[in-house]
Amino acid sequence: MELPKQITIKEVGPRDGLQNEDAFIPTSQKIKWIHHLAESGLKHVEVTSFVHPKKIPALKDADELTRQLPKKPGVTYSALVPNLKGLERAVACGVSEIAVFMSASETHNKANINKSIKETLPILRQTVKEANRQQIQVRGYISTAFFCPYEGHIEAKAVQMLSETLLEMGIYEVSVGDTVGTASPLHVEETLECLLKRIPRNRLAMHFHDTRGMALSNTLKALEMGITTFDSSCGGLGGCPYAPGAQGNTATEDLLYMCHQMGIHTGISDEKLLQQALYIEKNIGRSLPSKALQVWKQNMAKKGRGN
């Protein structure tokens, strides 16, 4: 099996992870957590979202958070931005990278941002153009890229065309999202085969959700196809408030375990990352889905008991 020697993991826990939580984590705790996530070796953390604060109450502190978050050399703190207005807020807070987003499915796009795909594209184009003018890098998410809870199967060709459109606008990378977590490795292979016909592999990232336990199998297939950038979430936090049935992202610790066991370099410390998963689990107050975290806690408990 051919595997990349090194991959980049983009941590989305503070945004994609927390956005679906009822609990509001105080800004100071988020800042501490994000700082320590970066200390674990992560070079890219999506820290919040500049959508309307009422839409995602868990991230209503986007402005304070990004203003107060100490910069860290070599680490990019990115933020989700829906439009020019969001970009303005992000810029005012000193954000150096943004992510724009849309769905491959018409119905999910409508449910998520109340606009058709056709209406969304000019808004993104305007936002990307203005961001790039201000030397702000832009990443693009395509959600429901495999399956939409309203429309069902999504054609790979549609994702390919949308990806090309976003890249032409000036984004540097498309993150292809299995929002509901239904994709199989075969589906990943089919979609990537189609995308890679037109898009260089270093312009693609995969964003899997582990709703049905397939996130790592899908990651394996993407790794074998040469993809080297993956989104994941500390503890396996996550979901999508507008996609019924969507659950946590790939857990960063589980992804680390698989990659490190296969000799794939990530630059991230398992131990430090696990400590941060434990930290956010305690703050959220419920058991998080990451398997590596649960094993680590068990082992710690055993050590504590002296056996």
Instruction: Give whichever of 85 and 197 is closer to its own copies, judged by the CB atom.
Output: 197
Distances (CA, A) of 175 to 72, 189, 230, 233, 285: 24, 16, 8, 14, 30
Residue choice 41, 53, 226, 245 for contact with its own copies (CB under 8 A): 245
107 binds its own copies (CB under 8 A): no
Pairing of strands 152-153, 173-178: unpaired
* Closer CB to its own copies, 272 or 291, in the complex: 291
Q: Which is nearer to its own copies, 162 or 259 (CB)?
A: 259
Binding mask 175-204 for its own copies (x = CB under 8 A): -------xxxxxx-x---------------
Question: Which stretch, 60-68, 88-96, 120-128, 260-268, contacts its own copies (CB under 8 A)?
Answer: 260-268
By CB under 8 A, name the one of 94, 213, 241, 267 that touches its own copies.
213
* Catalytic-residue membership of 240: yes
Q: Number of residues interacting with its own copies: please give it, by CB under 8 A.
A: 36
Sequence-distant (6+) residues with CB within 8 A of 45 are 10, 11, 12, 13, 14, 34, 37, 38, 75, 76, 77, 78
Q: Are 6 and 228 in contact (CB under 8 A)?
A: yes
Stretch that binds its own copies, among 60-68, 112-120, 131-139, 212-220 (CB under 8 A): 212-220
Residue in this structure with the two tokens 């703190």, named with its chain if needed: 77
DSSP state of 305: T
Q: What is the smallest separation between the CB atom of 271 and its own copies, expressed in angstroms? A: 15
CA distance linking residue 46 with residue 98, whole number of Å:
9
Instruction: Indicate the residue among 158 and 295 with the shorter CB distance to its own copies.
Output: 295
